[in-house]
Amino acid sequence: MAEYVPPQAVLSASEINIAFGAKPLIKDGTIAILEGERVGLVGRNGCGKSTFLKIAAGVIAPDSGQVTLRRGLLTGYLPQDFELEENLTVHEAVLRGATEIQALIEEYEESPAESPRAAFLLERIEQLEGWTLDSRAKSLLTNLNAPEPGRIVNTLSGGEKRRVALCRSLIARPDLLILDEPTNHLDTDSILWLEEFLARYQGTCIFVTHDRYFLDRVCNRIVEIHLGVFVSFPGNYTDYLIAQAEREAISEQTEHRRQKFLRSELEWVRRAPGARRTKSQDRVDRYFEAASQGPPEKASDADIILPPPKELGNRVISLKNVSAEANGRVLFSGLTLEVPAGGRIGIVGRNGSGKTTLLRILTGDQEPSTGTVEHGARSEINLIDQHRLQINHDKTVWDEVGEGRDTVKLGEESVSLRGYLRRFLFNEDQMKQLTGQLSGGERSRVLLAKILKRGGNVLLLDEPTNDLDLATLRVLEEALVRFQGTVIVVSHDRYFMNRVCTHVLAFETDGTLGYDVGNYDEYLARKASRSARPSTAPTPKPVAVSPPARAGRQQKLSWKEEREFEVMELRIQEAETALAEAELALHSPELYRRSAQEITAFQTHVETLRKDVARLFTRWDELEQKRAASELVS
């Protein structure tokens, strides 16, 4: 039986500090990434996710602290802002991601056949499967719907270049794969293929993405950058959301208990010193210590404002037998559609199928090849484009959004530009910052703030989810669901489409167009049923609902409960201290030098401590409510 070898850290960062100008991003951050892990890095826009990926890839160094990579580690990296050599073919550009393997092959071919060096090189090339580079490149280009291998890079669109760059990062099958928004500009089929590729990937992967289904299906660990520190959560994105909710509940309970303690002690502390001489000074010290702690710091959510739309008429947009061509190729034809007032249409399909072209036809920026498009008399169209071309990177956030005004008109009301920008999470310093100096997600928020203030009752959004953090995405989804106008959105974000859409217009792979009522999952179900024999759904059984029990007479605390209540605060404090120490150890690289069994056991121990704290708070609330009710009766 082979001896078990515990996973080792391929990357560790110890007490690193990162700042962007005067803005600190990561403060004394410590993290270890183990071999075989698939880590999703999450956090607010501008918190330092992309910066940390650059540090992990060796592109930049932290301001202080230490980053250690395993010796001989082969790394693949897809940055947000990538560069490709413009004069290369697509095939050549992809192979640039395997230069180390190509160098081994070149040296092997130039070495004497019988030399020890040639034997070593041959073994290493076969270990890296270097002889399959060309076939791997072809497979990647096909599965990620990338351009033809012979096309020249300088003829590609931005989205096509990004898919080529993704292929380049995957080609070498590196030990450590670092991906910054890998699903941007990928169609749904390509995202599904990438999910399967990473799920069976033998190396280690750390990535940033806004795609929540992707995080759920690929990750076995989530690391959040929260208020400058790394917070680790075992499991996928759903596990993270559950653990995050528990953490916030504990934090709220802690603050509730602190406020109750302050209220109960305030009157006594305010008395003249003479009235407290016989009291313990420790009680005074505990009060001021609790008062100085302050409430737990929380990250703010954006407050995305959609100006109240004007009432739509009976006709919004009518399309009759519309078709479109590009470079002599028919993108789609025979499209007849009456856009519903108040509907939210999601447009899906493979890249290059004509989705963005359809949006341009809907706005009137492009004439259809055949057919007619008619706008309703009351329809006011507002477009958010996917290429972010409407942002001037040489202007400040204030000038770009304000456009020469210091107020923003939202329907019949006017608000100050400063207040409007604060709703999009821009502070005073960021308002004066050039948009070109912002992160990709922050620039997306600038675009949203700029475009949405223009109003309109028909919103057209082309890939609005790209570069937005998950919290801002949730706020955008809620704003669109509440919007009383019509929304037409192109997106490959399946979760977003399920939350927002009431209709789906699909560009199918066989060149046909499908139109269904419902969200994305409902569209997929109907698509499957159209190609299969329909089955009769079973009649759902009625669910029995028990009537609420009548409230009985409140009982006083028993003697045993009185003693339990007296020591409850001390027990909670001890449990919180133990949890804080365990969570600190959980993020230490020292832990990940132990065996996998020890790591798993310690993670289970931390989860047990979290549940213990939550259980103690619940019990404390029960006793407190019972005691308060009995005092009220007496």
State the first-to-last Cα distance of the chain, in angstroms, to the nearest integer.
71
Distances (CA, A) of 589 to 32, 371, 449, 552, 626: 5, 64, 41, 54, 45
Pick the closest to residue 485 from 341, 374, 362 (CA basis): 341
Residue scoring higher pLDDT (477 or 305): 477
Specify the pLDDT at position 552: 41
Whether the full predicted model's pTM is greater than 0.75, yes or no, is no
By percentage, how much of the chain surpasses pLDDT 90?
34
Residue 428 has pLDDT above 60, yes or no: yes
For residues 227 and 28, the answer to whether their CB atoms sit within 8 Å is no
pLDDT digits (tens, 9 = 90+) for 488-530: 999 988 999 998 999 999 988 777 888 888 888 888 888 877 7
CA distance 495 to 481: 14
pLDDT at 137: 93
Lowest mean pLDDT among 84-98, 190-204, 355-369, 573-587: 573-587
Among 169, 208, 231, which Cα is nearest to 440's? 208
What strands lie across the sheet with 64-69, from one edge to the other?
23-34, 9-20, 64-69
**Tens of pLDDT, residues 219-270:** 999 999 988 899 999 999 988 888 877 877 777 777 777 677 667 666 655 6
Cα gap 222→230, rounded to integer Å? 10
**477/241 Cα distance (integer angstroms):** 17
**Is the distance from CB of 318 to CB of 374 less than 8 angstroms?**
yes
Residue 275 has pLDDT above 50, yes or no: no
Q: Tell the burial category of 558 from Cβ atoms under 10 Å away from its Cβ (0-12, 13-18, 19+).
A: exposed
Mean local confidence (pLDDT), 6-22: 86
Per-residue model confidence (pLDDT) at position 569: 75
Residue 361 near residue 373 (C-beta atoms within 8 A): yes
Which tokens hold the place of 54?
Answer: 């650059």
The one-letter amino acid code at 8 reads: Q
Report angle CA 476, 387, 521 to the nearest 5 degrees: 45
Q: What is the mean pLDDT of residues 288-294?
A: 60
Kindly report the CA angle at 181 between 177 and 187, in degrees rounded to 5? Answer: 110
Tokens describing residue 139: 């497979």
Residue in 205, 310, 298, 199 with CA at minimum distance from that of residue 248 = 298
As to burial, measured by CB atoms within 10 angstroms (0-12 exposed, 13-18 middle, 19+ buried), residue 502 is: middle
Phi, psi (degrees; rounded to nearest 5) at 342 = 80, 0
In the prediction, which pLDDT does 628 show? 65
pLDDT in tens, 93-132: 999 999 999 999 999 988 888 888 989 999 988 888 889 9
pLDDT in tens, 39-79: 999 988 888 899 999 999 999 999 999 999 998 889 999 99
The three-state DSSP-derived secondary structure of 90-111 is: HHHHHHHHHHHHHHHHHHHHHC
CB count, 10 Å around CB of 275?
A: 10
Q: How far is CA 408 from CA 60, 220, 314, in A?
A: 40, 44, 30
- Supply the pLDDT for residue 403: 87
d(CA 483, CA 459): 10
Structure confidence at residue 273 as a pLDDT band (50, 70, 90):
low
* CA dist list (Å): 554 to 36, 626, 629: 55, 7, 6
What six digits make up the tokens of 233? 């959560």
Beta bridge partners of 208: 180
pLDDT of residue 591: 63
Determine how many CB atoms are found less than 10 A away from the CB of residue 77. 21
Residue 619: pLDDT over 60:
yes
**191/494 Cα distance (integer angstroms):** 10
How many residues are present in the chain? 634
Q: Which of 574, 597, 593 is nearest to 585 (CA)?
A: 593
pLDDT at 537: 42
pLDDT for 540 equals 38
Whether residue 230 contacts residue 587, with contact meaning beta carbons closer than 8 Å, is answered with yes
Residue keyed to tokens 């107020």: 407
Q: Say if strands 64-69 and 221-226 run parallel, antiparallel, or are unpaired.
A: unpaired
Shortest CA distance to 338 belongs to which of 536, 488, 147, 544? 488
158 with 168: CB under 8 angstroms? no
Q: What value does the mean pLDDT of the chain take? A: 82
Q: Beta strand pairing status for 329-338 and 317-326?
A: antiparallel
Place of tokens 């028919």: 330
Distance CA 222, CA 238 (A): 10
**Would you say residue 393 has pLDDT above 90?**
no
Q: How far apart (Å, rounded) are the C-alpha atoms in residues 211 and 377? A: 37
